[in-house]
Copies of this chain bind each other. A is one copy, B any other.
Amino acid sequence: MPKDAVDLAAKLSSFSQYWSPKVVARLNDYEIKVVKLSGEFVWHKHDDTDELFFVIEGELTIRMRDGDVHLRSGQLFVVPRGVEHCPVARGEVHAMLIEPAGVVNTGDAGGPLTAEFDDSLA
């Protein structure tokens, strides 16, 4: 029985909402998500976990209190646990996120950009 690869671009083409990560695969107790970003998110942190950002398309800045990191296609950055950060997308950005299951996108900040859990693409 042939098995299916997970095509990130195909998954991303199936929805249009920004700041709404979708689980596309699982790795032990971690989730692999794709997300579309546009403009500035909210400052927040995750006290219990690191968070991996991998840029598929576009240009993403991750602001942090002690310095920013700039990411473009094919680049990744791991935000350490407990570090306040604010993703800022120049135009539209397509990214992959990897983190343990159950992490909420807005971390400790909450608010209107908090996304519902969505594994309908997994």
- A: residues with CB less than 8 A from B are 1-9, 25-28, 30, 32, 49-52, 56, 64, 66-72, 74-78, 81, 98-100
**Partner pick for A25 among B1, B25, B74, B78, CB 8 A cutoff:** B78
8 shortest interchain CB distances as A-B pairs: A5-B75, A1-B67, A3-B69, A5-B71, A6-B76, A27-B52, A7-B75, A27-B50
Copies held by the complex? 2
List 14 other contacts, CB 8 Å, given A3-B64, A4-B69: A2-B67, A2-B68, A2-B69, A2-B70, A3-B68, A6-B77, A7-B75, A8-B75, A25-B52, A27-B99, A28-B49, A28-B100, A30-B30, A32-B76
